[in-house]
Structure 1
Amino acid sequence: MSTDWYAAPESYEIPASWGLEDEDREILRDSAWSLILKGENDPAEFVALFEDELAEAGVAEERALAFFASAIELRRRQQDELGGPPESRLSRAFAELAEIGVLGREDFTCCGTCGSAEIWDERDDSRVWRGYLYYHTQDAERIPEDRSTYVGYGAFLDAHLPEDEWNALNEEQQDERYERIVTGLMVDEVFPVLERHGIEVSWNRDLGTRILLSNVDLFVAV
């Protein structure tokens, strides 16, 4: 299913009348399709993003808008024929992890810095959230290419020990405790769930290294 979902229809091509070199046409074709796979459905966004390429080729804005609108409509017909976006392995795994208090977010924020800061605000009062996993927008772009992504991860310390107990530790002790909490959570609880859903996990147990997940998909409808 994933191969069919990501593949562009044979009829999807940048118009030859735009006069682009073959290499430039291919780059524009693939870049635009990548946006469509992520669910972008506003032709104006494509025109704005590829403004320089279109201007260099002398393509009028109206023509570009019409083409990208037709490409989006082509994608909609294709996804209807495929039965709509299925639920991915990773989405199912994240749903199961939520039941044990591990928060999972897909295509979350623009980068790792923002993700690590904003993930704390994603918690609700439905349960005690003990840890988290997420991949950000830049990570999401690689999934259709090689069906893998790196994920950020960590623990919500207030679920594991009282604040006064944490503050009583020196910096070295805090680092050791946090590493032990995160490693135990990932290896003993998170990884078995991911692997049970057919996801391959690669990690060297270094908290400075993100976890690599393979055999994952991102299915988004336009």
Structure 2
Amino acid sequence: MSDGGFQVEGAGAVVGAGPVNGAGSVDGAGPVDYNAQPAGLRIPPQYLPKGVGDAQAQEFLDILWNNLLMGGDPDFDYLVDYICDYPFFSESEKSRELDSIPLDAAEALAEFLIAQRLAQQETFGQVPPMPITLAFAELERNGIIARENFACCQTCGHDEILGQVADPSQWNAYVFFHQQDAESIFECGAGALAFGLAPGGRAAGLNMSDLIRSTILPTLEKHGVTAKWDGDERTRILLENVNLYYPLESLTPHPS
């Protein structure tokens, strides 16, 4: 299940990785935004329908770029389909739809943007792990399965997460944020964390609320992630001040 966004394969936490949200530093040179668009990046006009204004072009670029930030192996065909289906409207006549981007231009634009992101990543060098990644690693050392950018939505995440470990009975609980949460984090630095008891926790008679208060919230805060929870197990944990960095993998050359 998914409400939108480009599909990628293999995206997830990277140790050796930071807002549009991914801030950090490279070689001590000061803050670096690992997810910002390269300075001066624009969609080449030959890829856009005639009549598209600067504001629409920038909005379109922002959407495409934010979805590349999900990292992993880009689904080229899905990206091209999205570009072809994107609606543009006349700046002077808001109700008049412009021509769509043809297939050959969509393929060229997809290749252009992926190449821009890969080239940008090459300038980062070794990127340190993000605080949320460090927090999740500590949770796992304490018997709580923790996954970033896991599954397309909350329902699928709950259904699939116990399949991530060899023996769920050895784990007390789990937490995750899904793809749509990751998209929100890239946009504003905030998202939500789903949770649940694992078989080991149920067998031991553990209480989820107690685990959240004693282990999950303190671990997140220890690593600089603001975590707020209202105490109701039907509501997720609010995450703020979250930085992510998921590098895009090389694209297999697309047959022309």
TM bin, normalised by shorter chain, reads 0.7 to 0.9
Structure 2 distance, partners of 1:200, 1:54, is: 38
Equivalent positions of 1:175-186 (< 5 A) are 181-186=207-212
Equivalent positions of 1:8-87 (< 5 A) are 8-17=37-46, 18=48, 19=50, 20-39=52-71, 41-53=74-86, 56-87=98-129
User: Which residue is equivalent to 1:6?
Assistant: 35
Structure 1 distance, partners of 2:55, 2:86, is: 12
Instruction: Figure out how many residues of one structure are paired with residues of the other and give that number.
Output: 206
User: Which residue is equivalent to 1:189?
Assistant: 215
Structure 2 distance, partners of 1:138, 1:213, is: 14
Quote the RMSD (CA, aligned, Å).
2.3
User: Which residue is equivalent to 1:169?
Assistant: none
Q: TM-score, normalised by structure 2?
A: 0.73
Larger Rg: 1
SS at the partner of 1:151?
Answer: strand
Q: Higher relative contact order at CA 8 Å, sep ≥6: structure 1 or structure 2?
A: 2
Q: TM-score, normalised by structure 1?
A: 0.83
Which structure has more helix as a fraction of its residues?
A: 1
User: Which residue is equivalent to 2:93?
Assistant: none
Equivalent positions of 1:1-222 (< 5 A) are 2-3=22-23, 4-17=33-46, 18=48, 19=50, 20-39=52-71, 41-53=74-86, 56-125=98-167, 128-161=170-203, 181-222=207-248
Structure 2 distance, partners of 1:156, 1:189, is: 15
Instruction: Tell me the CA shift for residue 134 of structure 1.
Output: 0.3
SS at the partner of 2:203?
Answer: coil
Q: 1:54 to 1:62 in 2, by over 3 A?
A: farther
Instruction: Please list every run of 5 or more consecutive structure 2 residues that lacks an aligned counterpart in the other structure.
Output: 1-17, 24-32, 89-97, 249-256
- C-alpha distance after superposition, 1:145-195 (max 9, x if no partner): 111210100112443437xxxxxxxxxxxxxx8xx7011001011111111
* Contact 1:85-1:220 within 8 A present in 2 as well: no
